[in-house]
Amino acid sequence: MRLSPVTYEQWVKVFKAALYVGVSAVLSYLISALTSDPDSFGVLTPIVNVVLVTLKQLFTPPEK
C-alpha cells in the first residue's frame, strides 16, 4: 500500500471532523461546568458528538 497525496475534498473532510470534535468538547465542557461535575466531561463528549452528528444527518438530504 502506497501513500497518495491528500486531495482538497479529503482536507475538507478532515477539517469537518476536527470541527465536530472541537464543538463536541466545548459543549461537553460547558455542560460539565454548569452542572459543577467535572467528571462528567469524559462521559458527555461522545454523547454530545453522537447528538451533533444525528442533528446534522436530520438536516442533510440523502444522496442518490
Domain ranges for the chain, please list them: 20-56
Predicted local distance difference test score (pLDDT) of residue 39: 86
Chain segment 16-52, per-residue pLDDT in tens: 999 988 988 999 999 999 999 888 888 888 889 889 8
How would residue 9 be classed by pLDDT, with cut points 50, 70 and 90? very high
Q: What is the 3-state secondary structure (H, E, C) of 1-64?
A: CCCCCCCHHHHHHHHHHHHHHHHHHHHHHHHHHHCCCCCHHHHHHHHHHHHHHHHHHHCCCCCC
